[in-house]
Structure formats: C-alpha cells, structure tokens
Amino acid sequence: MTDPPHDPTLADYRASVRDWLAATDIPSVPLDLDHRFEVLKAWQGTLYDAGWVGISWSRESGGQGLTPLHQLVFSEELARARAPMPIGLIGLDVVGPSIDTYASSEQRARLLPPLLSGDEMWCQGFSEPNAGSDLASLRTTAKIDGDRFVVNGQKVWTSWAHKARWCALLARTDSDAPKHRGISYIAVDMATPGVSVRPLVQMTGDSEFCEVFFDDVEVPRGNLIGDLNAGWTIAQDTLSHERGSYTLRRMVEYDVAVEEAFAEIRRHRSAGGTVAPRTLEQLGRAYVSVRGLEAQTRKTMARKVRGEVPSPYDSVDKLSLNEVEQRVYSSISDLLGPFRLTPHDPSAGLDSARWVKDHYYSRAVSIYGGTSQVQRNIIADRLLELPRG
C-alpha cells in the first residue's frame, strides 16, 4: 500500500488525485450485478494498493491518517473522472469506523486490513421484517452457551449479503432488558453453518438486497464487538457514519449526474435535435437541489472535522439526501416521457436505460439507512424538542 505525502494541503492532494486518475485505467462498470461486483472489487484493490482507501482512517488502523476533507476531495475527483466508487463502502464508510472505535486490538488487526483492501466484504445485519423503522424491536437472539453465542433469527434488506464474508449483526443477548438495552454487536462469519442468504429482486432487476436467516448459528464469544449488551450505542455510531459519510459521497455523484444529463442534451442540440424549454427547467430544479445539499454537506464536514459525530444532525443529512436523490433522478426520468420504455430510442439525447434504472434505484433511498419518517421523528424529538405524539 502506497503512502501519499504526509499531511498534504487540499490543493496538493487534489492535484495528486487528478494526476493518478489521469494515468490509471479506469474500469467501465457492467450492468450485470455479478460481473459488476467482481470489477468493483478489483478496483478497490487497485485503489488500496495506490493508497487511496481509508484516507481519513488512522495510520494505526491501516489508513492514511488524513482528514475527512481529504476524503471528500478524493470522492469529488473520483466522481468527476467518471471513476466508480470501491465496492466495499459498507465496510469502509459504515461498519469499519465502528469496529475501529469499539473493537479490541486483536479484532482490529484481524478484521480491518482485508476490509480496507476489499479482500473481505461486509454486510450490515440490522433491519428485520418487523424491526426496520423501530430497530430496537429486533427479535434475532444470540444466546450464550459456554464460549459461544447461538444465533437465531432473520434479517432483511441486507445489501450484498450474498457476497459478504462478514456480517455486523445486531442481536438480542438479554431478553429481559428494556428494548434499547440487551442488544449486542457481533461479527458473524457468513460461511458459518446455519447462515443462509436469499437475494431479493429489486425493481431495477438487480438482486443487491437480501434476506439472511440464522438457524442455530454458533459464533465464538470472541466475535463480540465492544461490551456485552452495549450494541445499541455501537449501532448508533454505525448509523451516524452511514448517514453522514454516505451523504457526502452521494452528493458528489448527484452533481456529476446532473452535469452528465446537461452534457447529453447539449450533444443532442449540437446534432440538430430539439429540446423543449421544460427540459432545461426540470434540470435547473435538480441542479438547485444539489447545490442545497452541497451546502448541507459542508456543515456535515465541519462537524466531522470537529469530531461531533454521531449527532441528531445526521438525520437532517439523511432526510436531505432522500429528498434530493429522488428529485434529481425523477426530474431526469420525467423528461423521457414514454421513451423511458424504449431505451434504444432516447428522448432529448438522454440515455433512457441509464436514467430509468437510476430513477428506480432512488425510490429505495427513503427506506434504507433509516426511513424518511424516522428521520423526521428524530429531528422533531432531538433537535426541535417537540412533544412526543
């Protein structure tokens, strides 16, 4: 793994990222899910070897020891070079930081290096069929039996579970405790007997989300992350990373998406095609919404630099993300009209197949990572201090 210059300025760092990307073969991302996974996994290995993974992680944990601002610069340049993100973002942005904070030194030494390199993928075993919006009501149990846990239960909406080596599992270890207590955070090897995965076909045609079943799964007690029955605190840390870091990355991708839509329309007009005034008006609305999200993410970055995470403001980030993603992709998809059903006959120069798929995927954003309704409740309760009910 290559080390970049120690504590470079943001301008120097941006220049080094651009130079590297200009000299690197950037992979094209196939539509087929399995092929896409393999391409992006190899891409993560390339980024890791060149020193572009774990940018804001500490050097002791295998990262580069730089700031969240350096990570944002890298994400911006990656998106603007039309280069894909690494595949292991659940590990890099969501689960990994919590493991780094709460795991033992032995656990960090075992789990973090292959997480960073992409050799071992992670999934997040939080949501259940009856415990999604109300996560603390989860029913999956992990009963202590000597030096092991015996896990039984079901998880759902578990992204990449069918490709993951590890699952960051929330399970109830004390059934008599109040629901926010008695929950533990356990690393489960997905190859353990009794773990079964069933991919779910999404409206995009992909099967990225999965159901995961645990039937008498024996997990060593040494896989417990943090203290027994202290999983809720770690889960809140994980969710804060999911809502904050993910918002930062996605904001850059929305910006590029709007730029690409404008570019497709400009090429269409240059070739003699016509574009209705409504088209530019629609894209203008999308552009303004992205600029609003950008202003919000700058505040988020300032909080991350000050170490003010997790925070109820993470819910403001997630709610803003939900609304902007759906507005951007629905605005572009609406321009296609009936042509959204004929991907080989684009409207106004827009690539129907690409934009319709992005639009379909965006419908899930207000559910995964915490529904919009839950985020509004958190904002009302913890920020506005409105009365419950």
Do 45 and 2 contact (CB within 8 A), yes or no?
no
Do 180 and 232 contact (CB within 8 A), yes or no?
yes
pLDDT in tens, 240-276: 776 666 777 788 888 888 888 888 878 877 777 766 7
Bridge partners, residue 316, by sequence? none
Q: How confident is the model at residue 4 (pLDDT cuts 50, 70, 90)?
A: very low
With 60 as the cut, is the pLDDT of residue 205 above it? yes
Q: State percent of the chain over pLDDT 90.
A: 46
Burial class (CB in 10 A: 0-12, 13-18, 19+), 337: exposed
pLDDT in tens, 362-375: 888 888 777 888 88
Residue 38 appears among annotated catalytic residues: no
pLDDT in tens, 65-87: 998 889 889 988 998 898 999 99
Token digits of residue 233:
């605190």
Q: Determine the pLDDT at residue 7.
A: 59
What's the pTM?
0.84
SS3 385: coil
Q: Determine the pLDDT at residue 1.
A: 47
Q: How confident is the model at residue 133 (pLDDT cuts 50, 70, 90)?
A: low
- Residue 371 has phi, psi (to 5 degrees) of -65, 160
Choose, from 242, 253, 325, 385, the residue flagged as catalytic. 242
Q: Determine the pLDDT at residue 348.
A: 62
Q: For the beta carbon of residue 11, count every other beta carbon within 10 angstroms.
A: 9
For the chain, domains (ranges, CATH) are 10-117 (1.10.540.10), 122-229 (2.40.110.10), 233-383 (1.20.140.10)
d(CA 76, CA 334): 27
Q: Which helix (H) or strand (E) holds 197?
A: strand 195-199
